[in-house]
Amino acid sequence: MAEEKEKTHYSKTELDEFREVINKKLQDAKDEFNRLQDSLREANEIGSDSYNMTEFGADTIDKEQIEMFMAREARFVNNLERALIRISNGTYGRCKVTGKLIQRERLLAVPHTELSLDGKNQMKNGPKILED
């Protein structure tokens, strides 16, 4: 029985599938960011009419929470956009620690990841990132 050669890259069809997943997540993330931005705008408009110190404190906490979610969403958008760039330049799906292909299932679940499960575990023992 012939030994199966380890896969070194994803096919164009597979990359197109990943691109589709990423674009869907990217659109959802941008929509969520815009929704949060609208919420913050509304909170600022309502907050400017409130002079009650108790309400002011609660409004401030709400605004900070919205800003925290917006920052998280912005990082997610950035990570997804970087994943699209990696698809374009041919480096998508390769673990930056092990240099091996990241499992397809992992990429479908976390399409912006740059680490395989082995690479992630190795990072716990001290980072050794491969250079391009």
Query: Domain with 86 in it: what CATH number?
Result: 1.20.58
Same domain? 59 vs 84: yes
pTM for this model (two decimals): 0.77
Asked whether the predicted pLDDT for residue 53 surpasses 90, the reply is: no
Same domain? 99 vs 122: yes
Asked whether the predicted pLDDT for residue 131 surpasses 90, the reply is: no
Same domain? 62 vs 17: yes
Query: What's the mean pLDDT in 39-55?
Result: 64
Write down the pLDDT at residue 44.
76
Same domain? 74 vs 31: yes
* Domain, as residue range, for 80: 12-90
Reported as a single tens digit per residue, the pLDDT across 58-117 is 566 788 999 999 999 999 999 999 999 999 999 999 999 999 999 999 999 999 999 999
Tell me whether residue 122 is in a domain.
yes
Tell me whether residue 39 is in a domain.
yes
The domain tally of the chain equals: 2
Alpha-carbon distance 93 to 8, whole Å?
9
Query: Regarding predicted confidence, which is higher, 46 or 67?
Result: 67
Same domain? 38 vs 80: yes
Q: Which two tokens stand for residue 29?
A: 């993330």
Same domain? 68 vs 121: no
Alpha-carbon distance 95 to 100, whole Å?
6
Write down the pLDDT at residue 1.
41
